[in-house]
A and B are shown apart, each in its own frame.
Chain A
């Protein structure tokens, strides 16, 4: 919903007003949160104010919560005993959960893509650079696919919700914080090597630098490794339920 409102706020004429508003905040702050206006086109506007922070942050929280619910929560509470007291083996159950998680992420991205295009066409017909917009969303999917993988692996590995959330949530949040610090610039810039968010930079996608697709593939592969590891670990371990 915020997404929709932000898009309609775009007004090329009012660029100065927006700049002025943003200038109230200290430069380091807007740098850190990746909230700087990159350029004044519609896609630039969208890339800056939505795909720098919000499209990263909000789905991430959703994914952290949901991925814990996939397995660890059931093992912790003991309800996994009932799921397994059916003619379904562990692989099937885990795979069903993965499908749900990835499917949710996919639907979320599809939704914001469609809404973005829809609203842009409605209010500013023809202005939106669709290729870049798709790139932003494909990349967002890859990023969240990876976050989901981390969350799922933690959920499959740990028997207690508290541990599953600590790592499944802690690691993505840590990545996010590191990228925030790296964005501040200066000496902290090298921190960008410590976070997977480096593979998803709205500025890179906006300017269509080489290698963005490669980065997406890296994120996707990371996610895949995590999902598969999670399945294997869950299939083998002891369950005190």
Chain B
């Protein structure tokens, strides 16, 4: 049984807004990064998982239960962080956390205190007076404190300073080691690259790509600028080397994916003056997807 199952999920808001025919699942232990431009449908998807929206078509299941009609059965095992900060007026951070602890029938509050301390949160302040980053921390503590099996986090590092972002990454790694399943939507490629083992990219309501991070990392291409000693060498190299190269005088620009060793073996037979490498980062990779072209 998958932890999260989304089948043919469609919600049409008109004007091509919404989500259309989404199909994917998240298994136990997955850390799933859900990426997409603003308005792509990430939050809409998450709202379906939380039982807030009725699908036009299709279904969402969490832990085997239907997300809309059986949501109360799911909630005890889910920690949720909404994309938009929305607490109750007039409470202090601590009052809010204690209220939620009560609502979730939590007996042990030690995890709550641990996270409060770790995220350097001052819980006694009024939520209304807190900075965005502080409010975000309150939300994070709330999602984590009940030690849920599943974490659904909508833009979890929004508003956090780089130090806190690092701590967040640490926390994700820990939860991963403890066997938790996490779905997090994000705009930060770096963060997703550091934490997730699976990535889904959504654009205009449709899933554009679902890949293992490993696949994506291998798909990352490296570009080498090799300057040969003379054009002879270059031509020889070009004829023997199978992959695509672009030639410019005595410089060859070689784009390869993954197999650096093979290229180096070939080059060791040649007379080379200089070699320079330029990375295609995960960012550029993702931006290809965001931009609409697919990297193949």
Considering residues B53, B72, B76, B78, which has the most beta carbons from chain A within 10 angstroms of its beta carbon? B72
Q: Are B86 and A87 in contact (CB under 8 A)?
A: no
- Stretch of A32-40, A76-84, A105-113, A174-182 at the chain-chain interface: A76-84
Q: A166-179 CB contact bits vs B (8 Å, 1 = yes)?
A: 00000000000000
Q: Are A88 and B82 in contact (CB under 8 A)?
A: no
Q: Are A87 and B82 in contact (CB under 8 A)?
A: no
CB of A210 within 8 Å of the partner chain: no
Question: Chain A: how many interface residues by the 8 Å CB criterion?
Answer: 19
Partner of A79 from the list B73, B80, B86, B104 (CB cut-off 8 Å) is: B86
Chain A interface helix/strand/loop/mixed: loop
Q: Are B82 and A238 in contact (CB under 8 A)?
A: no
Q: Are B53 and A85 in contact (CB under 8 A)?
A: no
* Interfacial chain B residues near A239, Cβ < 8 Å: 47, 52-53
Interface hits, B27-78 → A, CB 8 Å: 47, 50-54, 71-73, 75-76, 78
**Contact size class for B?**
20 to 34
When chains A and B are docked, how far (Å) is the Cα of A13 from the Cα of B142? 66
A83 closest partner in B (C-beta):
B103
Assuming the contacts A81-B52, A239-B52, asked whether A87 and B88 have C-beta atoms less than 8 A apart, the reply is no
Interface hits, B177-215 → A, CB 8 Å: none
CB of B285 within 8 Å of the partner chain: no
When chains A and B are docked, how far (Å) is the Cα of A229 from the Cα of B88? 26
CB of A241 within 8 Å of the partner chain: yes
- 13 A-B residue pairs with CB within 8 Å: A77-B86, A81-B50, A82-B87, A82-B88, A84-B51, A84-B52, A85-B50, A87-B75, A87-B105, A92-B72, A239-B47, A241-B52, A241-B86
Known: A84-B52, A84-B71. 7 other contacts (CB 8 A): A78-B85, A82-B82, A82-B142, A83-B103, A84-B75, A86-B75, A240-B52
Interface residues of A (CB under 8 A from B): 77-79, 81-89, 92, 236-241
